[in-house]
A and B are shown apart, each in its own frame.
Chain A
Amino acid sequence: MKRHLVSAADLSRDDALLILDTAEELAQLSGRAVKKLPTLRGRTVVNLFFEDSTRTKTSFEVAEKRLSADVINFSAKGSSVSKGESLKDTALTLQAMGADAVVIRHHASGAPARLAQSDWLHGSVINAGDGTHEHPTQALLDAFTMRRHLNAGLGNDLSGRRVTIVGDVLHSRVARSNVHLLTTLGAQVTFVAPPTLLPIGIEPNPDTGAAGWPCEVSYDLDSVLPKTDALMMLRVQRERMNAAFFPTEREYSRRYGMNGSRMAQLPEHAIVMHPGPMVRGMEITAEVADSPRCTVVEQVANGVSVRMAVLYLLLGGATLADTAARTDSVETVQ
């Protein structure tokens, strides 16, 4: 593994499987009365959130605490940060405090990459979502959830599984991370969205010879549903409507919303995923959101295991065998 986790594209197939397998091991822990490992005792992890995200922040915090790290929460609201020096100055401060890892959420694409490459900070950088760029731990928890449902077992990947991602791909860091990771794990990805919400360059361009993204693209949700093993809904922000990305909420939900009749077109084993928080109505009806095939709650629980695995592997440098051994030893000690 590399020192940082900035992009899902940085993960090789082996890295990705190591994280998923480690997460699987660590997930056993949450079933126990004492949910703590001493692995990161004495190490300092900073949660540096320039953008609000209670879910992601809490998930990381729980993961860090279960690994016995010293946790510092540093929030710097995007609105109050007007000058560019702030990221650098903040990083220098954290460096002085001896941060071993920084979990960063930032409204600007590339901020974690910049932090990882700069000499402002020596610890590991973990991207907890940057602008419209990436959110690699979200992709890992998604892949983890898919594997459990579609091809459970240590060492297994997602070969041949078909994943459909629906909604605002243009502004989605979840989509960007997922396409890398899922492709690395052997899955086939199809994006479904109105053309206005797809990034330029996602489709191959014969004029320029550009290859496009490693995925398929469709404007028609209904045609894709029958060949979908995992359907991932993305959040669509209402303000996109005012910026003319689509005409009305009603039209959006008619063409791209998930409802009961569409769910009936999915194969029986297929799951419906959502990174949350869900906007019920426009993008997903209550019927779908509350159905047993919807994995939203499960995704939250899996998020903790996956983030523990990432922290553990980046900071602990341990192998899976070590993980098992240490888990045992904790048990004995306790």
Chain B
Amino acid sequence: MVSYLIRNARILGGAPQDLHLADGVIQAIGTGLAVDADIEIDATGMIVLPGLVDLHTHLREPGREDAETVLTGTQAAAMGGFTAVHAMANTTPVADTAGVVEQVWRLGQEAGYCDVQPVGAVTVGLEGKKLAELGAMHESAANVRVFSDDGKCVDDAVLMRRALEYVKAFDGVVAQHAQEPRLTEGAQMNEGQVSGELGLGGWPAVAEESIIARDVLLAAHVGSRLHVCHLSTAGSVEIVRWAKSKGWDVTAEVTPHHLLLTDELVRSYDPVYKVNPPLRTAEDVQALRKALADGTIDAVATDHAPHPAEDKDCEWAVAAMGMVGLETALSVVQQTMVDTGLLNWEGVADRMSHRPARIGRLTGHGRPISVGEPANLVLFDPAYRGAVNPESFATRSRNTPYKGMDLPGRVHATFLRGRATVLAGELAEQGGLE
């Protein structure tokens, strides 16, 4: 196995140090390390973070391989600095059985660019009617701990209660896509000033907030773990803050795009901005940034949602919802959180690696950067500046709202258990596993 010596890298933004990676683990950390390594990397000015962990990725396989496959999705993840991703269950067929989650998990292993942790559906076929075999998915090779009907809300209060109770048996967590279905019928964008002017169906903040409020109460009532997907409003932040102040086991995530973009962009009617939950107002963006900084929001999750061109190159009303995000996540976080002084690199490691790994109960990821630990790392150059070019993406889809935008920073290298999946900004030819 190839060994690496990384020279003068700033671990979590600290003073420059060398790291020696061999046999899948961090062998040594220090200044002026005198070791023989197969490859030496001059990392002057670069930041080392633990390999990023995404709680919310859509890999589209099985079913929509024209949009993404486990291979291309994990390649995109590696390019973005991720070493583990949670693959959402809304595939075709839905990941609601042990068979499907094992298939996805195994495809991730074979591709070798990034660990794929499948998320199991809460209900059969995401239909919100009957619990899926949560226990069987947990007992499968995929060892599922996170369950979600993402894309749809588990809106039946009794079903949600039962799911929360049931997964306690194996330390599972229900990740809720909070969207009251009646309040969002025909919704196409955030309900507010802009939707009123554009004549597009509004998606009110309260449709998200009312479900979160209900769910934190349910989770407290049954003493279970709840994770709230992609918070998008200031009100949602307040409810999560309140639940945490009660000591309840509630965690939450925010996407990079909700930290940067607002519903004003929808004025272009460009479907690249059509996403679920919708882009909100500047006030919401500020509240989300602040909540991520103070830890009310635990994690950044990409909600990477690849779509083929034909699903976006059309009029707004019929366009698919979602944007790709794996390859730009760290740059958006640098721009919105680090360059603004809201979060330091230690904080970024916490919100993009340690905490998401803990929420998903991934024991091999989100580890401290110290000797003897698995070498799951990302080497990031925060000084890099350049326009986002979707043509260079590893993901199969190009639906990024950042096309042509100058975003700071670039992943220089990603290591999965000591093997480079990305080196010098380029994807390794083979995946991380031999």
Contacts and interface: CB of A to CB of B under 8 A. Distances in A.
A213 B196 CA distance: 9
B319 interface: yes
B268 A88 contact: no
A130 B317 CA distance: 11
Contacts of B311: 84
Interface residues of A, number: 31
Interface in B282-296: 283
Interface stretch (A23-31, A60-68, A197-205): A197-205
Contacts of B204: 200
B315 A173 contact: no
Interface string B283-323: 10000000000000000000000000011011111110000
Interface in A196-217: 199-202, 205, 208, 210, 212-213
B102 to A, nearest CB: 34
Contacts of A134: 199
A132 B316 contact: no
Most buried by B among A83, A131, A212, A213: A131
Contacts of A199: 195-197, 199
Interface string B197-240: 11110101000000000000000000000000000000000000
B202 A110 contact: no
B198 A109 contact: yes
B191 A111 contact: no
A208 B193 CA distance: 10
Nearest to A131: B199
A117 interface: yes
A84 B199 contact: no
A10 to B, nearest CB: 12
Contact of A201 (B194, B269, B316, B318): B194
Most buried by B among A84, A117, A131: A84
A87 B194 contact: no
B200 A117 contact: no
A58 B317 CA distance: 26
Contacts of A117: 268-270
B193 A210 contact: yes
Contact of B315 (A108, A132, A208, A213): A108
B196 A114 contact: no
A114 B281 contact: no
Interface in A235-284: none
B317 A176 contact: no
A87 B199 contact: no
Interface size class of B (residues with CB under 8 A): 20 to 34
B192 interface: yes
Interface in A170-210: 173, 176, 199-202, 205, 208, 210
Contacts of B310: 84-85
Contacts of A87: 314-315
A115 B270 CA distance: 11
Nearest to B316: A110
Interface in A83-123: 83-85, 87-88, 106-111, 113-115, 117
B282 to A, nearest CB: 9
Contact of A109 (B191, B314, B317): B317
Contacts of B202: 200
A84 B315 contact: yes
A87 B310 CA distance: 12
A311 B387 CA distance: 40
Contact of B281 (A130, A176, A208): A208
B317 A110 contact: yes
Contacts of A208: 193, 281, 283
A212 B193 CA distance: 7
Most buried by B among A85, A109, A132, A133: A109
B281 A108 contact: no
Nearest to B269: A110
Nearest to B317: A108
B206 to A, nearest CB: 11
Contacts of A200: 191-193, 195-196, 202, 204
B100 to A, nearest CB: 27
Nearest to A209: B283
A134 B270 CA distance: 17
Given A88-B314, A108-B316, A110-B316, A132 B199 contact: yes
Interface string B164-196: 000000000000000000000000100111111
A215 B205 CA distance: 25
A111 B315 contact: yes
A85 B281 CA distance: 30
A108 B318 contact: yes
Contact of B198 (A85, A88, A106, A133): A133
B315 A106 contact: yes
A201 B195 contact: yes
A88 B313 contact: yes
Interface of B: 188, 191-200, 202, 204, 268-270, 281, 283, 310-311, 313-319
8 contacts: A85-B310, A109-B198, A110-B317, A111-B315, A114-B316, A201-B193, A201-B197, A213-B197
Interface of A: 83-85, 87-88, 106-111, 113-115, 117, 130-134, 173, 176, 199-202, 205, 208, 210, 212-213
The list of the 9 closest CB pairs from A to B, nearest first, reads A84-B314, A199-B196, A108-B317, A201-B193, A110-B269, A132-B199, A133-B199, A84-B318, A201-B196
